[in-house]
Structure 1
Amino acid sequence: MINTFNFNWFLENCLPFIYKLRNKIIVIKYGGAAMQSNHLKMQVIKDILFLSSFGIKLIIVHGGGPVINDWLQRLHIQPKFKNGIRVTDGPTMEVVEMVLAGKINKELVNLINMYDNIGIGLSGKDAKLLLASNMFDDSSNLVGNIESVNTNLLNLLLNNGYIPVIASVASSYDLVTYNINADIAAANIAQALNAHQLILLTDTPGILLDVEDPSSLQKEINIDDVNNLCKKNIIAGGMIPKVQSCVTALMNQVDSTHIIDGRVEHSLLLELLTSERIGSKIVL
């Protein structure tokens, strides 16, 4: 239906959702395969611009794990992860910042501005957008927890029709640069702004009871069931920070959180503008 435009179908199915979302803030965490495929990347950007054209206020927070891994390996640095979070020593942090803020961020902004001059590229260092402290006791592991978000800057941009595109790198009061997991960064930004929705674009259909069975997708799941799935290791690895981010956002005034498959064309539109949806919606 989305690929072959049907105006009557659009009026009947999509416009009610658009009216409800107008002037609402939606934070989109963008990463995974949808970022690696040029075709999917263009589709995501076009869908974001489509939503923005109806007065929906959008913020993009991006990761870039596969590209970071590629550059680390080129420099003979072994990527390491623990519970879905990248272990980040000094040399790794330099590569993370270079790739996220210097390469991926500017590519995404450039794609937006090909169609409309409303993309603004930022890292957490700009105007102290994200201030962080160390997540761990080990000061050599430069993974951060966000302590504050400069909502004045974001609201200024949103209220003037811009789309902030944010690389998940943060500074600190002692000027240390921290790597912030992009799911966690998106959740913190969403709750700081009292956003209407947090959407995580990922490489799975959503929360599955069986990773080998797409039909086990949980279209709607509450926090208690999410916690039980984590305890049973059904939710594990890179999904842990995603669901934890959604839970944290929900408990801090974000109205709804969604994990959707960025490999599906127009997944954003299908999740936001149709009653069927395609991903997992986590609720209180």
Structure 2
Amino acid sequence: MKRRASVLLEALPYIRRFHGKILVLKLGGALMEEKLMDSICQDIVLLNYVGMKPLVVHGGGSDISEEMEKAGKKPEFIEGLRVTDEETMDIIYKSLGKINKKIVLGLGKHGGKSIGISGIDGGLVRAKKVEGKGKEKLGLVGEVEEIDASVVNYLINTGYIPVIAPMGADAEGTSLNLNADTVAAELSTSLQAEKFILLTDVPGVLEDQENKNSLIPRITLEDAQKLIDEKTVTEGMITKLKACVKSVKGGVKRAHIINGTAPHALLLELLTESGIGTMIEEAR
């Protein structure tokens, strides 16, 4: 009984510190398995009930690739970006829509009020086509040009948990496929979130990529940039670190990369002294 009480008391200062604060959570496509998603949704709803303002941006890479293969299309990537023609865009709509509603239903199961939207809705994400040498083949792939977070602000300030699919539209009204890490980072900056948290299927940033026990629990922006420049981390982690660096440089207090496959990873990272992942901050 005393141990249970001590757990709750350890959480109290963090609940007080983050009460009323915005938390931008990015869920990777590898976390969509039912039991994992159920644990994550429980955490999100609990954080919401104790007064925090979480919102979710989700990916869907593996589901999209699977649906493409079913349709006889081979997934192709250029510098980590999915080549997207009109047929692929239709598959992305379908896959992201399915995942979006799955998360909304999961949050609702545990008593959370949530609404699923995409970056297209309410003019949330204005995007433009990715340009540059060798990137012409990417097709309907975009990068964030501008965020209008008014619809998200309205939802979180009325008690809802927004669940956002990473799509955007350009000035001509063409929908574009966007990188979910980038969308989440840009949104966290626009909202001046307290925290930007990337939930993935790895422990965090590792000192030795072959050793999962070599987790770096805390790094500065300078450290993170050095890891990126020297390619000490893997290509997938480079994208995530870049998103974290961008968010913190843009005014977000701290960014985190955590293993979302660990039971109740969000609660352990946010409400305990030690945490479980890597925290990125401006300076120690």
TM > 0.5 between the two? yes
Residue 262 of structure 2: aligned partner: 264
Change (3 A) 1:275 1:228: same
User: What code does the residue aligned with 2:79 have?
Assistant: N
Are the aligned partners of 2:217 and 2:279 in contact in 1 as well (CA < 8 Å)? Answer: yes
Residue 218 of structure 1: aligned partner: 216
Residue aligned with 2:213, SS: helix
Residue 8 of structure 1: aligned partner: 5
Residue 251 of structure 2: aligned partner: 253
Are the aligned partners of 1:125 and 1:169 in contact in 2 as well (CA < 8 Å)? Answer: yes
Are the aligned partners of 1:187 and 1:198 in contact in 2 as well (CA < 8 Å)? Answer: yes
| 1:87 matched to 2:47 | no
Unaligned runs of 5+ in 2: none
Residue 50 of structure 2: aligned partner: 54
1:214, 1:46 → 2: CA distance? 26
Are the aligned partners of 1:83 and 1:238 in contact in 2 as well (CA < 8 Å)? Answer: no
Are the aligned partners of 1:85 and 1:238 in contact in 2 as well (CA < 8 Å)? Answer: no
| 1:18 matched to 2:15 | yes
Change (3 A) 1:6 1:172: farther
RMSD (Å), alpha carbons: 1.7
Residue 61 of structure 2: aligned partner: 65
TM-fit CA distance, 1:5: 10
Are the aligned partners of 2:78 and 2:138 in contact in 1 as well (CA < 8 Å)? Answer: no
Using the aligned pairs only, state the percent identity. 38
Deviations 1:84-140 (A, max 9, x none): 33232332222112211x211111111212232511000111111111111224275
Residue 136 of structure 1: aligned partner: 131
Deviations 1:34-89 (A, max 9, x none): 22x21111000011001100110011000011111110110111112233332323
User: In structure 2, which of residues 168, 171, 175 is the aligned counterpart of residue 173 of structure 1?
Assistant: 171
Unaligned runs of 5+ in 1: none
More deviation in 230-239 or 184-193?
230-239
Residue 42 of structure 1: aligned partner: 38
Are the aligned partners of 1:85 and 1:241 in contact in 2 as well (CA < 8 Å)? Answer: no
Residue 280 of structure 1: aligned partner: 278
User: What code does the residue aligned with 1:60 have?
Assistant: V
Deviations 1:156-184 (A, max 9, x none): 11111000000001111111111111110
Residue 147 of structure 2: aligned partner: 149
Task: Give the structure-2-normalised TM-score.
Answer: 0.93
User: What code does the residue aligned with 1:70 have?
Assistant: E
2:78, 2:223 → 1: CA distance? 23
Aligned residues: 279
TM-fit CA distance, 1:204: 0.8
Task: Give the structure-1-normalised TM-score.
Answer: 0.93
